[in-house]
Amino acid sequence: MQHQLLRPHDAASLPRHLLEARVVSLVRRCPGLRALRGAHAHFLRLRLPRLTYAFALSKLLASCAAASATTVASSYARALFDQIPEPTAFCYNSLIRAVSGSGSSSNSGTTDTFLLYRRMLHAGSPAPNSFTLAFVLKACTALGEGQQLHAQAFGHGLEPSPYVQTGLLNLYARCEEVALARNVFDGMVEDKNLVAWSSMIGGYSRMGMVNEALGLFRDMQAVGVNPDEVTMVSVISACAKAGALDLGKWVHAFIDRKGITVDLELSTALIDMYAKCGLIERAKSVFDSMVERDTKAWSAMIVGLAMHGLAEDALGLFSRMLQLKVRPNNVTFVGVLSACAHSGLVDDGRRYWCTMQELGIEASMENYGCMVDLLCRSGLLDEAFSFVTGMPISPNSVIWRNLLVASKSSNRIDIVELASRRLFELEPQNPENYVLLSNLYALNSQWDRVRYMRKKMKDNNVTVVAGCSSIEINGYLHKFVVSDGSHPEIKKIRLVLREIADRVLCAGHKPWTAAVLHDVVEEEKEVALCEHSERLAIAYGLLKTKAPHVIRVVKNLRFCPDCHEVTKIISKSYGREIIVRDRVRFHRFIGGSCSCNDFW
């Protein structure tokens, strides 16, 4: 860099505009933070004129913000900023960019960014510009703060800026406020660029709104905006959440057809999609074809195998991961421990828990939940209770619910009372807690207590979340809730349900009416069971498809025990393969048996 340096004679003789051009040229050629510090020292030795030196500091500050997102760079940027006598908006923007992109924790970076922004506002001059708000919005993680920034953008007349609009769109999409995000998106008169389209599609994807995400994806193509890997990750993730396999296959083919780079993140999203859509063999194929695999890819494959009840494969893959010196993380152990839980491998689960601690991996709440689930499923209620009460972090509602479910066939009133009390402290408005306790009371025919729980729900304005099941037919998702009469083909569906009921009766199945919480006669309970959402979806699959087409259903809650037995009979009676993904795992029904071996 020696031949590029300014000489003392240049600092004294060159006109200001030429001198500043030389400063810009020198700073641009600095490859990193060390070179920027060297240039800074050189400027100090030259004793540049005051205004030129302030200009040089601003350019150093901007380059520092772009050079490396580290705490060291952020600290140096602050030091540069403090030497500038009258910082411009450009200087504030550079420092905000450096601080928000530093290697400090996200919460710390966000706080520092807002402190700088408020300092700028309080100074009165310079006023924030569109770039200021864009940088602050990028660092923002809370909806309330984002809405304040939106109001300030409106007040400063900066709302029409495409940079501000894209920042607002990104924020609302990250916060899963898709209605607000869509308002911003629809209001963008120009510059609906790739980032804007991808952000909006990503927001729909995170909310599981697959039809909306794919509809916008089609609109994006219609206006000639070409998607990239980021866009496709969002689209694939939407298919994964909805269990839309046909759509997922189409999107995968689109990626290949358009020559979109399948990087690590996109490959991992494809593994996750195929696993969650019930095609674990295709997930394995994607995984095996990867030239490079990181921890996320290994973890996605292990979690997918565990979801399908393939414990031996999941644990074998984990061993292979360790042999190849790939370091696991919390998510990896979620897959490992859940594989043990779904197969009743208690000793293996205990051993893997110790392995996680030996590797120095701090257990997440989900890891603790998997361990409690393993013990509860295996009937080790006392050990599970001791494990929960000995946790170094406060158990969440999922863990307390697991304990409550496990205690339903025991006489451990102390566990029932403690778990229910903790649940209502943590989630007083969650209807699942009321339904769970009602279930426990209904199992023992304690109808007075069931009615008390209903009254408590009514007094607290708690509404039950209906069981919802969806099935994909010809690329479109059809959703059903219990006793749903809104589907345009409901009459045909109910004819299929009657036929199913006849075949089930001939097979000798007696409905498990304890799954219905109403204090009514058995006949009415049997009718209620017949129109559970998963049965409506399966009936629609039988109506619209023929063998060997696999019927694939996604349910938002746990599989109803009676529906589980009935689906086994349907698979045998109709000679159909049926795959149901409930909130916890996959159930694959073939020839009258289920892949879970009734351990779920």
For residue 79, what are its two tokens?
Answer: 């030091």
**Residue range 307-313: average pLDDT?**
95
DSSP 328: P
Q: What CA–CA distance (Å, rounded) separates 101 from 70? A: 7
Q: Which residue has the higher pLDDT, 407 or 384?
A: 384
DSSP 588: E
Q: Is the pLDDT of residue 523 over 50?
A: no
Q: Is the pLDDT of residue 545 over 60?
A: yes
pLDDT digits (tens, 9 = 90+) for 100-110: 865 444 455 57
Q: 381-414 burial string, b = 16+ CB within 10 Å, else e? A: bebbbebbeeeeeebbbebbbbbbbbbeeeebee
**Residue range 489-497: average pLDDT?**
96
The residue type found at 219 is: D
Q: 195-221 burial string, b = 16+ CB within 10 Å, else e? A: bbbbbbbbbbbbbbbbbbbbebbeebe
Q: What CA–CA distance (Å, rounded) separates 56 from 59? A: 5
Helix (H) or strand (E) segment spanning residue 353: helix 346-358
Burial of 245 from C-beta contacts in 10 A (0-12 / 13-18 / 19+): buried
Q: Which residue has the higher pLDDT, 467 or 198?
A: 198
Specify the pLDDT at position 515. 52
pTM, entire model: 0.79
Neighbours of 262 (CB within 10 A): 18
Q: Look up tokens 């050079």; give the residue.
A: 67
**Quick one: how many helices (H) and strands (E) in the chain?**
31, 6
**Residue range 225-245: average pLDDT?**
92
Specify the pLDDT at position 522. 42
Q: Is the pLDDT of residue 436 over 60?
A: yes
Indicate the SS3 state at residue 476: strand
Residue-wise DSSP of 377-409: HTT-HHHHHHHHHT-SS---HHHHHHHHHHGGG
The residue type found at 584 is: V
On average, the pLDDT of the chain sits at 89
**Residue range 249-266: average pLDDT?**
93
Q: What CA–CA distance (Å, rounded) separates 509 from 487? A: 28
pLDDT digits (tens, 9 = 90+) for 346-374: 999 999 999 999 999 999 999 999 999 99
Q: Which of the four pLDDT bands, split at 50, 70 and 90, describes residue 485?
A: confident
Q: Look up tokens 């706080």; give the residue.
A: 111
Non-local CB neighbours of 239 within 8 Å, separated by 6+ positions: 210, 214, 245, 247, 248, 251, 273, 277
**Residue range 457-481: average pLDDT?**
88
- Report whether 65 contacts 97 (CB < 8 A): yes
Residue 380 has phi, psi (to 5 degrees) of -95, 65
Q: Is the pLDDT of residue 517 over 70?
A: no
Q: What CA–CA distance (Å, rounded) separates 80 from 244? A: 53
Opening angle at CA 48, ends 44 and 54, nearest 5: 85
CA nearest to 247, candidates 213, 223, 219, 280: 213
DSSP 327: P
Q: Which of the four pLDDT bands, split at 50, 70 and 90, describes residue 527?
A: low
For residue 92, what are its two tokens?
Answer: 């504030």
CA nearest to 5, candidates 32, 36, 52, 43: 43
Q: Is the pLDDT of residue 521 over 70?
A: no
- Report whether 317 contacts 301 (CB < 8 A): yes
Q: Is the pLDDT of residue 300 over 50?
A: yes
The residue type found at 179 is: A
Helix (H) or strand (E) segment spanning residue 19: helix 16-28
Helix (H) or strand (E) segment spanning residue 279: none
Residues in the chain: 600
Burial of 583 from C-beta contacts in 10 A (0-12 / 13-18 / 19+): exposed
Q: Which of the four pLDDT bands, split at 50, 70 and 90, describes residue 581?
A: very high
Specify the pLDDT at position 490. 95
Q: What CA–CA distance (Å, rounded) separates 536 from 130? A: 52
Q: What CA–CA distance (Å, rounded) separates 152 from 158? A: 8
pLDDT digits (tens, 9 = 90+) for 126-178: 999 999 999 999 888 888 888 999 999 999 899 999 999 999 999 999 888 99
Indicate the SS3 state at residue 127: coil
DSSP 439: H
pLDDT digits (tens, 9 = 90+) for 587-597: 999 999 999 88
Residue 388 has phi, psi (to 5 degrees) of -65, -45
